[in-house]
Amino acid sequence: MDLSKARDGASLFALAAVLMSAQPVNAADTTVTFRTWSPIVETTAKMAVATEAKLPGIKIDYKIFNYPDYIVDLHTRAASDDMPDLIGLEPGALTRQYQDFLLPLQDCAVKSWGADWKSKFFPLAVDQIRLGNVKGDENYYALPVLTQTINMWYTIPVLKEAGLQPPKSYDDMLKMVPKLSGKGIATMLVGAADGWERRDVYMQLIHNVAPGLIYKAEDGTAKFTDAPFVEAMTVWKKLFDDGIIQPGALGLSVSPQAMELTEGGRAATFPQGAWWQQQATRPNPPELSVALNGYAPMLFPDVTGKGRPNDPLGGIDLMIGISKKSKHVDEACKVLADWVSGAGAQELINTFNDLPAFKGINPQVYQSDNQKAVWTLFTEEWLPKVRYARQLKSPAVKQALEDALAAVASGDQTPAQGMATVQAAWQSQKN
């Protein structure tokens, strides 16, 4: 017997069997392409399955990148006129950069939810879609899928064991330091190597000192060198000098290092947003994250002694646009609508990835009462109150602020010098 022929025959038979058993591809199916950095692959896969089941005849081809790779991919696609049908976007500068490639989506919104579609979203979600529009452009170039707040969290057992309450003021935080530092616990654990984390803390500080002022400075009706900005920067510096933020914070990234330390019980409080809830839904989470039992959110403590605002900062976490050159605009609109408010959205929200943009979508299963209480606090109390954006419009100003925060924390610049560099960056991008 010629064994090689027999082997070839068996291989052909196996190949034929595989081909016959493969899922039949319907030639009539329309494939909608989607590229983004968020949500993660596993979640997007669940969303795609749910949406495809609901919308027969539509197949979703998705690819998820990490954020820097996504920006490069998007850039390359735009340059080669090969944009996907659905494009993951952030409000502000990113959307503005790709505006010429995006289809205005108000018609899609009206078709999906009626003329009063805006009322069905949380107010911040609708407000921030047009953050990057040029003056006078009233179009909506994307629709929001996920929203978020930025806030503080505390580790319940850590505070309980130390006999402490969640801090409400700067003095409260200061009093926590001697009780915790000896145990190797940070009063406030910050992954300050990441610019966005530094900026998130500063945005909460300036919101505490002078709510709304930073957006005026962005528009040119205030200056970044004004006293409240310097005051907020001074508090930022004090957080380091007083030992409230742990030593070496400027060399520690949020992910995975700061997150691991936090989940290892080394943080009394830490700045993270609503997205921290998803720690509970990962496979085999650390003990503190199981059913989110170890954590509770809180607003940033009052740093001025004059009281703190009761509205957190927030914004759109993810919004999705449709390419102007898409050949499947109707199908893309249907998929997008399903991810905002349909079966796909339900799959997304079930992961606690972040907060919904569309009102009335809640996770189908809660693992604990605490998890439900946290979700309710975010969606029913905090999210409707959000007035101010987490994001700044100009990438150059954002970067200058992040640099200044690092320079001030490390002692290379004074708070006033730091804010002067931000103002200079604002001036430079204006010219």
Partner 1 sequence: MSMSSAPRSGSLAPYLFVLPATVLFVAYVVYPILYVICSSAYRWDGINQATFTGLANYIRLFTHDPAFVLAIRNAVLWAPLTILPQMLLGFAIAYMLETGVPRQAIYQAIFYLPAIISPVVVGIVWQRIYNPFGGLLSDIGFASGLRFLTVPFLSDTKVAIYAVIAVNVWQWTGFSMLLYVAGLKGLPTETLEAAKIEGATLRQTIVYVVWPMLRHVHLTLILLGVIGTLQTFPLIYMLTNGGPNHATESLPNYIFLQAFKLQSMGYASAISVVLMVIALALSLFQVRVLGARFALAE
* 178 binds partner 1 per the rule CB under 8 A: no
Q: Write the single-letter amino acid at 230.
A: V
CA dihedral 115, 120, 122, 123 (to 10 degrees): 30
Rule CB under 8 A: choose which of 24, 68, 136, 163 binds partner 1: 68
- Six-digit token pair at 402? 């992040």
Query: Which of 152-160, 224-232, 273-281, 409-417 is the region at the interface with partner 1 (rule: CB under 8 A)?
Result: 409-417
Smallest gap from residue 143 Cβ to partner 1 (A) = 22
For 298-344, give the DSSP string.
Answer: EPPPBSSSS---S--EEEEEEEEEEBTT-S-HHHHHHHHHHHHHSHH
Cα distances (Å, whole numbers) of residue 287 to 3, 180, 353, 367, 375: 57, 20, 19, 13, 19
Q: Which is nearer to partner 1, 196 or 275 (CB)?
A: 196
Cα distances (Å, whole numbers) of residue 282 to 29, 40, 194, 285: 33, 12, 23, 6
Query: Which of 105-113, 146-154, 294-302, 402-410 is the region at the interface with partner 1 (rule: CB under 8 A)?
Result: 402-410
**In angstroms, what is the C-alpha Rg of the chain?**
24
Query: H/E element holding 150?
Result: strand 143-155
Q: CA–CA separation, 404 vs 422, rounded Å?
A: 7
Question: What are residue 356's DSSP bridge partners?
Answer: 146
- Six-digit token pair at 326? 């898409």
Query: Which of 111-119, 128-136, 247-255, 304-312 is the region at the interface with partner 1 (rule: CB under 8 A)?
Result: 247-255
* 182 binds partner 1 per the rule CB under 8 A: no
Q: CA–CA separation, 217 vs 300, rounded Å?
A: 22
* 133 binds partner 1 per the rule CB under 8 A: no
Residues 23-42 that bind partner 1 (CB under 8 A): none
Query: Which of 17-25, 72-80, 293-301, 383-391 is the region at the interface with partner 1 (rule: CB under 8 A)?
Result: 72-80
* 192 binds partner 1 per the rule CB under 8 A: yes
Smallest gap from residue 86 Cβ to partner 1 (A) = 18
Q: Which is nearer to partner 1, 35 or 334 (CB)?
A: 35
Q: Which is nearer to partner 1, 13 or 67 (CB)?
A: 67
Cα distances (Å, whole numbers) of residue 96 to 101, 279, 381: 10, 32, 31
Smallest gap from residue 395 Cβ to partner 1 (A) = 5
Residue 93 CB burial class (10 angstroms; 0-12, 13-18, ≥19) = middle
* 416 binds partner 1 per the rule CB under 8 A: no
* 252 binds partner 1 per the rule CB under 8 A: yes
Helix, strand or coil for residue 5?
Answer: helix
* 384 binds partner 1 per the rule CB under 8 A: no
Question: How many residues form the binding site for partner 1 (CB under 8 A)?
Answer: 40
* 417 binds partner 1 per the rule CB under 8 A: no
Identify the residue whose tokens are 């730091």. Answer: 418
* Of the candidates 125, 141, 143, the residue with the CA atom closest to the CA atom of residue 316: 125
Q: Which is nearer to partner 1, 98 or 366 (CB)?
A: 98
Rule CB under 8 A: choose which of 34, 37, 98, 153 binds partner 1: 98
* Of the candidates 118, 83, 110, the residue with the CA atom closest to the CA atom of residue 97: 83
Rule CB under 8 A: choose which of 223, 395, 416, 417 binds partner 1: 395
Phi, psi of 168 (to 5 degrees): -110, -15
Q: CA–CA separation, 159 vs 203, rounded Å?
A: 25
Q: Which is nearer to partner 1, 190 or 355 (CB)?
A: 190
Query: Which of 15-23, 248-256, 303-311, 368-376 is the region at the interface with partner 1 (rule: CB under 8 A)?
Result: 248-256
Q: Which is nearer to partner 1, 97 or 304 (CB)?
A: 97
Query: Which of 217-225, 329-337, 342-350, 395-403 is the region at the interface with partner 1 (rule: CB under 8 A)?
Result: 395-403
* 134 binds partner 1 per the rule CB under 8 A: no
* 180 binds partner 1 per the rule CB under 8 A: no
Phi, psi of 367 (to 5 degrees): -85, -15
* 290 binds partner 1 per the rule CB under 8 A: no
Q: Which is nearer to partner 1, 184 or 384 (CB)?
A: 184
* 282 binds partner 1 per the rule CB under 8 A: no
Query: Which of 74-82, 111-119, 321-329, 338-346 is the region at the interface with partner 1 (rule: CB under 8 A)?
Result: 74-82
| Residues contacting 249, CB < 8 A, separation 6+ | 189, 190, 191, 192, 193, 240, 409
Residues lying near partner 1 in the complex (CB under 8 A) are found at 68, 71-72, 75, 78-79, 93, 97-98, 100-101, 184, 186, 189, 192-195, 246-253, 256-257, 261, 266, 395-396, 399, 403, 406-407, 409-410, 412, 428
